[in-house]
Structure 1
Amino acid sequence: MRWRRVVDVGLVAWMLLAAILQVAFHFYVGEHWIDIDTLGYVLIVAFNLPLLVRRRAPAVTLLMVCVISTIYLALGYYHSVVTFQLALGIFSVAMYKRRRTSIWLSMIAFGVLAFAQHRLPLEPRLFGYAVVGLIAVIAWAYGDSTGRLADRGRQLSRLSEQLRREQQERAHRAVSQEQRRIARELHDVVAHHMSVISVQAGLGRYVLKTDPDTARAALEVIAGTAHEALSEMRRMLAVLRVAAEEPQSDTPYDSAPGLSRLPELLERVRSAGATVDIEVHGTEVPLPSGLGLCVYRVIQESLTNVLKHADPPVATVALRWQPHELAVTVTDRGAPLAEVAADAVGGDNGGVVRHGLIGMRERTRIYGGTLHAGERPGGGFQVALTLPLEERVT
């Protein structure tokens, strides 16, 4: 990355400047060190420059610093200017190389540091060796821990990306499966309409001359039924537009339920241990089979979530009939668990993606309605469905 290159260049420039200033202040240090000259400055630059590539080639970098530093020290130049460079080289191999390799290379660098201490005219030398040994150990330990932390971060990033892709794939599969199921159910609805049309057409043909009123009534039924069938067919094609070329299933299925089977559904939920009340406001009107199926499935899925997640499982189902709109709410009076809230936004809990609300939203979208699900301010959970009611031809 660009910022790493800037950091490395700045760090090497700082160490090079510090080394030059150090030797500049020790031009005349007596008999222990020789005066710095052009060769000394060249060697100082030479054992600093390899650190520019310490991330890409840490082992080569440390070996070059060790070799050039050894030559510099053997010629009798001032010793302290190699300490930071060797420590940074040890840190780099510990961070980017395997542990065994970094230990061996760090021991070589420690040998160079010890050689620099050996050039000092101080006694006892053991203290100096202990100091440079501590510097080497600290540099290696810090580099090793930093490298392991970076490895864990990269692993977590890869796992997070893999999990994100898997979640997207599972969500796509769930939506596709729901779309195919809706299409099969709509097929039932359309088949029902076609059967009605066939019967009424046969009746009208037989009574066309003998009973014109009956024939006219049959034609009106055919017109209304055909209108509903065409609406359902258009919706079915909308479902199939993104599921094209997917393999079809030959699994047998039951006829599509509607609001007429809502009492049976409520009884099953109550027998499972839930307390469910129902409220009906306004005048109920007959719904097209597909629309009734959508309302039934949303209520069914919402009550299933109440049984699974609400504590206690107490809910109210409310249907509000208006001239051009049907509003349905399923309100949970208990406190929903965290996974339900995660489900409401298409989230994930414990690695398991719940797609019940995805299916409900898909159904609602097909019929031009809206669906909202989430926690209530006073506690509990609510699913709110709104569907437009089209004028029916009779």
Structure 2
Amino acid sequence: MSALQALRPRPAPVALAVGFAVAGCLIGTFYHPEPWRAFDLWAYLLTLLIALPLGLREEWAFGVLVVTAAGFAGYLLLGYQPSLNFWCPAVACVFVTARERRGRVTCGVVLLAAVIALSGVRGRLPWPVTVVQALVVPAVACAFGLAQRRLGRRHAELRRLTLLLDEQQRQEARRAVLDERFRIARELHDTISQHMTIVTLQTGLAQYTFHSDPAAAHQALGVAATAGRQTLDELRRLLVVLRTYDPGDAARTGSAYGTGSGSPYTEGPGSTSAPEGPYAPTVPSIPTVSSVPTVPSDPSAPNPDDLLADIDRIPALAERLEATGLRVAVRFTGRRRPLPPGVELCAYRVVQEALTNVVKHSAAHAADVTVDYLDRELCVTVLDEGTPDPAQDPSPPAAPRRAADVRGSGHGLIGMRERAKIRHGSLIAAPRPGGGFQVCLRLPLEADAFPGKDVPPGRDRTSG
């Protein structure tokens, strides 16, 4: 605080100081009993000197007390009636006690007691009354000052806590934004990476066999087109989760994201449809998601992660990867039971990323996926056989799959570990001793928290 700001009086103290000055002058003008000296010009000046400094009591508390006490002492020694201007030094002492350190508080109390005692002597009061008055008035002033000091400390602590809470809220807001950015990044990576890998590999295969085997090139382009349409479907699903749901949209677009008229997920003008022509007959059957679950009508409900993926979609994921030449065997073991959407989404995304890495970075022809429902945890394992031995494997080499130069960004393993950490699980991704690679995900489950059901017959499947 600068010196100019310190000298600038505040409205409330100034109003109190002016009130004391006006009251003292008015009472002195109309009330001047004998034998006290008449209220003349000097009395007016001294009254103003005693009262007006109270306007600066918050910035110069001890100095105001000294000036006020000195002025009141001079007023008494000149013979003016002692009943006037009595409370001004007491008010100044209250602020000294509330704001100054202990040494100045002691000096201020002694100074006020001396002035009050002088007032009793000049007023010819009995000595017991003079002593009691000199003790009680400073004691009351100290009590008020200490209460104000405690209140000021509480206000300061409240301000500090308010600033701390505000800073924490800003940090939480920044952390929430970062968490949401990471979440969107994981979903985009896990959702798009697999399909774009298929598109890249199949277009590379088409380029590789364009002149030598046109039929195979046409088939590869058809597979790439189907994978591209599935990418659009996955993006639409992701947008359903990420956007803010407005109940009014349902009235404007029919059943919320269902199959009604005007739904953005129905085939219509401008929608992406299957290509016609030479690619259509040779495109292998790759399952697609034809419908999107209805968005909850409650806008306060949490983001429906189960709209994205769950464990039941792993077999369809394995079928899609068959187009790249990778045979995937999927097995479910243990007592099947519904799990929280976040757990199922985590398991599906880890399997998706692990199989995509097999396609992108390995020449393996087969992989195994095992989903084991244990009592207290879910264990998901993805194994690949590694690069096959040409002497033992009579199948054609995986050169077509390597025709496209597919490079990883390194974000896949990071995303899988982030997902496992969010669900308080663990993830192991390491080469197998006998060759190949393994990914093992373990997610804790609350025991008996969900009703169970047995694995339906025929649920286990082996692709290829």
Quickly name the TM-score band, shorter chain normalised: 0.5 to 0.7
- Cα separation, partners in 2 of 1:204 and 1:57, compared to 1, 3 Å: same
Whether 1:13 and 2:18 are equivalent positions in the alignment is: yes
Whether 1:193 and 2:164 are equivalent positions in the alignment is: no
Partner residue, 2:318: none
- Cα separation, partners in 2 of 1:199 and 1:42, compared to 1, 3 Å: closer
- Cα separation, partners in 2 of 1:166 and 1:212, compared to 1, 3 Å: same
The match for 1:27 among 20, 27, 32 is 32
Shift of 1:202: 4.5
Contact preservation (8 Å) 2:93, 2:112: yes
Partner residue, 1:368: none
Contact preservation (8 Å) 1:86, 1:109: yes
The match for 1:79 among 76, 79, 82 is 82
Most deviating of 144-153 and 68-77: 144-153
Shift of 1:144: 1.7
Q: Structure 1: where are the runs of 5+ without partners?
A: 240-256, 274-292, 302-306, 317-394
Contact preservation (8 Å) 1:99, 1:144: no
The match for 1:219 among 218, 221, 225 is 221
Whether 1:103 and 2:106 are equivalent positions in the alignment is: yes
Whether 1:144 and 2:248 are equivalent positions in the alignment is: no
> What amino acid maps onto 1:183 in structure 2?
A
Q: Secondary structure at the match of 2:38?
A: coil
Contact preservation (8 Å) 1:186, 1:232: no
Q: What is the CA–CA distance in structure 1 between the aligned matches of 2:131 and 2:312, rounded to whole Å?
A: 88
Q: What is the CA–CA distance in structure 2 between the aligned matches of 1:121 and 1:28, rounded to whole Å?
A: 14
Shift of 1:203: 4.3
Partner residue, 1:115: 118
The match for 2:159 among 129, 153, 157 is 157
Calculate the TM-score normalised by the size of structure 1: 0.56
Most deviating of 129-138 and 173-182: 173-182
Whether 1:49 and 2:49 are equivalent positions in the alignment is: no
Contact preservation (8 Å) 2:32, 2:81: no
Shift of 1:149: 1.0
Partner residue, 1:39: 42
> What amino acid maps onto 1:260 in structure 2?
I
Contact preservation (8 Å) 1:58, 1:93: yes
- Cα separation, partners in 2 of 1:57 and 1:226, compared to 1, 3 Å: same
Q: What is the CA–CA distance in structure 2 between the aligned matches of 1:271 and 1:122, rounded to whole Å?
A: 92
> What amino acid maps onto 1:145 in structure 2?
A
Contact preservation (8 Å) 2:14, 2:56: no
Residue by residue, what CA displacement relative to the aligned partner does 1:330-389 show, whole Å, maximum 9, x if unpaired? xxxxxxxxxxxxxxxxxxxxxxxxxxxxxxxxxxxxxxxxxxxxxxxxxxxxxxxxxxxx
Task: Report how many aligned residue pairs link the two structures.
Answer: 268
Instruction: Please list, as runs of the form range in 1=range in 2, the aligned pairs for 1:1-394 lying within 5 A after superposition.
Output: 5-30=10-35, 33-123=36-126, 125-180=127-182, 182-184=184-186, 186-205=188-207, 215-229=217-231, 258-260=309-311, 265=343, 271-272=375-376
Q: Secondary structure at the match of 2:10?
A: helix
Q: What is the CA–CA distance in structure 2 between the aligned matches of 1:7 and 1:149, rounded to whole Å?
A: 18
Q: Percent identity?
A: 27
Q: What is the CA–CA distance in structure 2 between the aligned matches of 1:95 and 1:101, rounded to whole Å?
A: 11
Q: Structure 2: where are the runs of 5+ without partners?
A: 243-307, 314-335, 345-370, 378-414, 424-442, 452-464
Residue by residue, what CA displacement relative to the aligned partner does 1:10-30 show, whole Å, maximum 9, x if unpaired? 322322233223333443412
- Cα separation, partners in 2 of 1:313 and 1:70, compared to 1, 3 Å: farther
Q: What is the CA–CA distance in structure 1 between the aligned matches of 2:178 and 2:129, rounded to whole Å?
A: 73
Which protein is bigger by CA-based radius of gyration?
2
Q: What is the CA–CA distance in structure 2 between the aligned matches of 1:23 and 1:191, rounded to whole Å?
A: 92
> What amino acid maps onto 1:259 in structure 2?
D
Q: Secondary structure at the match of 2:85?
A: helix
> What amino acid maps onto 1:147 in structure 2?
R
Residue by residue, what CA displacement relative to the aligned partner does 1:260-285 show, whole Å, maximum 9, x if unpaired? 36867479998349xxxxxxxxxxxx
Q: What is the CA–CA distance in structure 1 between the aligned matches of 2:42 and 2:217, rounded to whole Å?
A: 115
Shift of 1:66: 0.8
Residue by residue, what CA displacement relative to the aligned partner does 1:27-60 show, whole Å, maximum 9, x if unpaired? 3412xx2222211121111111111111111111
> What amino acid maps onto 1:220 in structure 2?
G
> What amino acid maps onto 1:173 in structure 2?
R
Shift of 1:139: 1.5
- Cα separation, partners in 2 of 1:203 and 1:26, compared to 1, 3 Å: closer
Shift of 1:227: 4.8
Q: What is the CA–CA distance in structure 2 between the aligned matches of 1:269 and 1:151, rounded to whole Å?
A: 59
What is the CA RMSD across the aligned residues, in angstroms?
A: 4.4
Calculate the TM-score normalised by the size of structure 2: 0.48
Q: What is the CA–CA distance in structure 2 between the aligned matches of 1:172 and 1:228, rounded to whole Å?
A: 34
Q: What is the CA–CA distance in structure 2 between the aligned matches of 1:14 and 1:111, rounded to whole Å?
A: 25
Q: What is the CA–CA distance in structure 1 between the aligned matches of 2:230 and 2:211, rounded to whole Å?
A: 28
Shift of 1:167: 3.1
